[in-house]
Structure 1
Amino acid sequence: MPRSWAGRPLPCFDLAGHPWATSCSGRPCAGPAGRSADPWPRRSRGPARFEFLLAEPVLRWLITSPEVMRGQLARLQTVVGVPNIRFGILPLGVPLATTPQNSFQMYDDVAIVETFVGETTYRDDEAATYTRAIERLWQEAVTGEDARRIIVRAAQDLQN
């Protein structure tokens, strides 16, 4: 199952009506190893499941125009409550048991860590370290309507 921790600028989402993410430009996002065709390897068949955990600041960083950011925030609201998507936000002001460091994605037992230099792929025991880290971060996260309220507040603050 693809899992993502984003402590970096807001990723682009198009998950409400389509099982794969797309970039802001509409091109497919690269999955593991830069592949864009069916990028999410799954060991079992059935509905794809996704987890996205974002740090609240990524909802507010303006790395694009406010107009595009408002669109992304609106789209994120559609992800909240989708049955096959676990979506959470790590809110500001919450004491953390784990210090978030690099953004990373997990695909089953593979962790891909993003840095300014590039991506590093970890497997087995090293990847399990990222599994434990994201589980600890989920314990501090808000989901559901609490997450939606944070998104709405970020969009409202953007308009002011």
Structure 2
Amino acid sequence: MIGHMSGRPPTIRERRLAGELRRLRETNTPMNLEEAAERLNWSKTKLSRIENAVRRVSASEVQEILAAYGMSGPRMEALVRFARTARQRGWWDAYASTLPTDYATYMGLEAEAEWLNSYTMGLVHGLMQTDEYTKHVAKSILMRFSPASEVERRVAARMARQQAWLERDDPVRLWSILDETALRRVIGGAEVMRAQYKRILELADLPNVMFQVMPLGAGGHPGVVGSFTLVGFPQRFTPDIVYVENMTSALYIEDEKEVHTYSLAFEQMGAMALSPEESLAMLERLAAH
């Protein structure tokens, strides 16, 4: 039976599919939930459960939904193909029950992204962290209220995330702009930081990585309000999103105009930051001390 989730939580891909079906109804049609269900000759409850990833949806049902919403052609075909593989679990699903939901969801999105444009203010980007740096960060975030096993799970998830990124046949393109304060903030001691500088230097040499430092001397810029990541996907049906994380939750921005604003801000910040060559020279100086 394709209906209920058989007692298991939905995969990240099933959540993405459900969210996209809801977004298409809300943005591409004038129909509310009840009107859409009536057009499909379904119950309102069935469609609601599909849109909230409570009920599994088949590829044929996705095709039926999209046809009712007036969609056809390559975009419809791409989403139907995606629906056929939505039940497949990725490496990130193994951590979904032990990590905050927002973060586990982001790992799934990142794993399927084509590119990431990320500005980080307080910490080195997660894909570039060493295990020791990650361990000290996790201890700080959990504020020593959680058992050591929780810290280890966080570190294991972060390292699995990095390994998956590096081993992908089509690796995600990462453009990381790091605020200089993150390089100057000593986390875990001088040795941990030296190893961290060297790790960034190694990764910055990869063809799919561009690394820049936003210097303190740059003054005000759009990123002073906080870190954010633009996530781009190869699928035609999936729009770019912005991921903004704070201490207890995360925000996913999908509105096209808002995403465009973040894109413009990131481009401006790229122009204000040190060049890749200047950024690596700074790292080399820091690693030498």
1:27 lines up with 2:156 in the alignment: yes
Structure with the bigger percentage of strand: 1
- Cα deviation for residue 12 of structure 1 reads 4.6
After TM superposition, the score normalised by the length of structure 1 is 0.73
Is this contact kept in 1: 2:117–2:229, CA < 8 A? yes
Q: Compute the RMSD of aligned alpha carbons.
A: 3.0
Aligned position for 1:48: 172
Displacement of 1:97 in angstroms is: 4.7
Report percent identity of matched pairs: 25
- Supply the distance in 1 between the matched residues of 2:162 and 2:183 (Cα, whole angstroms): 25
How far apart in 1 are the matches of 2:269 and 2:158? Answer: 24
Count of aligned pairs? 143
CA 1:46–1:36: 2 relative to 1, 3 Å: closer
Q: How does 1:1-160 map to 2 (within 5 A)?
A: 1-14=115-128, 24=134, 27-29=156-158, 46-108=170-232, 109-123=240-254, 124-156=256-288, 159=289
Gaps of 5+ in 1: 15-20, 40-44
Q: Distance in 1 between matches of 2:245 and 2:120?
A: 10
1:131 offset after TM fit, Å? 1.2
Give yes or no for contact 1:10–1:59 (8 Å, CA) kept in 2: yes
1:19-38 CA deviation, whole Å, 9 max, x = no partner?
A: xx7753562439xxxx8996
Distance, in Å, in 1 between the alignment partners of 2:212 and 2:223 is 17
3-state SS, counterpart of residue 9 of structure 1: coil
Give how far 1:117 is off. Answer: 3.7
When residues 36 and 78 of structure 1 are mapped into structure 2, their CA distance, relative to the original with a 3 A threshold, is closer
Over 3 Å counting, the alpha-carbon distance change for 1:61 and 1:36 in structure 2 is closer
Tell me the CA shift for residue 80 of structure 1. 2.8
Segments ≥4 residues shifted beyond 6 Å: none
TM (norm. structure 2) is 0.43
2:228 partner amino acid: F
8 A contact 1:13–1:75 mirrored in 2: no
Give the 3 Å change call, closer, same or farther, for CA 98–106 of structure 1 in structure 2: closer
CA contact (8 A) 2:127 2:162 kept: no
> SS at 1:4's partner residue?
strand
Contact preservation (8 Å) 1:90, 1:141: yes
Query: SS of 2:222's equivalent?
Result: coil
Match of 2:25 in 1: none
SS in structure 2 of the partner of residue 142 of structure 1: coil
Inter-partner Cα distance in structure 1 for 2:162 and 2:279? 29
Aligned partners of 1:80 and 1:145 also within 8 Å: no
d(CA) in 1 for partners of 2:130 and 2:193? 15
Higher RCO structure (Cα 8 Å, ≥6 apart) = 1
Offset at residue 86 of structure 1 (A) = 1.5
SS of structure 1 residue aligned to 2:261: helix
Find the residue that maps to 1:132 and give its secondary structure. Answer: helix
